[in-house]
Amino acid sequence: MLYGYEFLEGRYPDLTPGSDDLPRLVRTLTALSEAPWPEHLRKKPLHTRWADFLPEHLSTGLQGRALAHTDMSPHNMLVTGAGELLLVDWALACPAPAWADAALTIPRLISAGHSPEQAEAIARDVPAYRAADPAAVTLFAFTVYAAWEDWERARPLPHRAALTDAARDWAACRTAGSALGMS
């Protein structure tokens, strides 16, 4: 195992509605979604890591070979003096669908004050998310909700309740959108 560290000057991004950091976030998510997983690294893919939270026969919708960070906390992001939004703390990186990080950002945006529809609109600015199979995204929304609900129950932390609520709201929005033909 090798760990590397580099000092970076920066600040955490502001993910609230209207923030100047949102276009930076979309640029970073877009660039990340275009990066392939480095095949020489052996890590469990996302669909395997989250298998406990989804029906076994449905995990194929979450398969992918893109590089995914998977821990989209604003505390794992820095906005540099040059205006770039960088992702830090890659401990949970794994192969996943190209749209996974944009999807994982949606509950963070909801928790920061966006409605589920607004958060989805930001995610759709990422081409990989816009091109994703709506059924796979809806499955993933419910998977994220199930995982965070389980983690909140098993290992409660102060921030988990808000994220679980945001994930529940996203999943409900995906269901309502599907019923209305809007997914």
What pTM did the predictor assign?
Answer: 0.91
69 with 37: CB under 8 angstroms? no
Residue 50 pLDDT: 85
User: In this structure, how many other beta carbons lie within 10 angstroms of the beta carbon of residue 115?
Assistant: 13
Distance of CA 123 to the CA centre of its chain: 9
Distance of CA 170 to the CA centre of its chain: 12
Please write the tens of the pLDDT for every residue from 79-109: 999 999 999 999 999 999 999 999 999 999 9
pLDDT tens sequence for the chain (183 residues): 455 667 778 999 999 999 999 999 999 999 999 999 999 999 999 988 888 887 666 666 788 999 999 999 999 999 999 999 999 999 999 999 999 999 999 999 999 999 999 999 999 999 999 999 999 999 999 999 999 999 999 998 888 999 999 999 999 999 886 543 444
Residue 3 pLDDT: 57
80 with 110: CB under 8 angstroms? no
80, two tokens:
């540099």
**Tokens 């893109």 found at:** 66
Q: Please name the fold of domain 21-179.
A: Aminoglycoside 3'-phosphotransferase; Chain: A, domain 2 (3.90.1200)
Residue 157 pLDDT: 87
103, two tokens:
């999807």
95 bridge partner residues = 67
DSSP 132-183: S-HHHHHHHHHHHHHHHHHHHHHS--TTHHHHHHHHHHHHHHHHHHHHTT--
Q: Provide the residue ranges of all domains of the chain, joining segments of one domain with +.
A: 21-179
C-alpha dist (Å) from residue 165 to 52, 97, 133, 144: 20, 24, 24, 11
Residue 183 pLDDT: 46
Q: What share of the chain is helix, strand, coil (3-state, %, to 5)?
A: 55, 10, 40
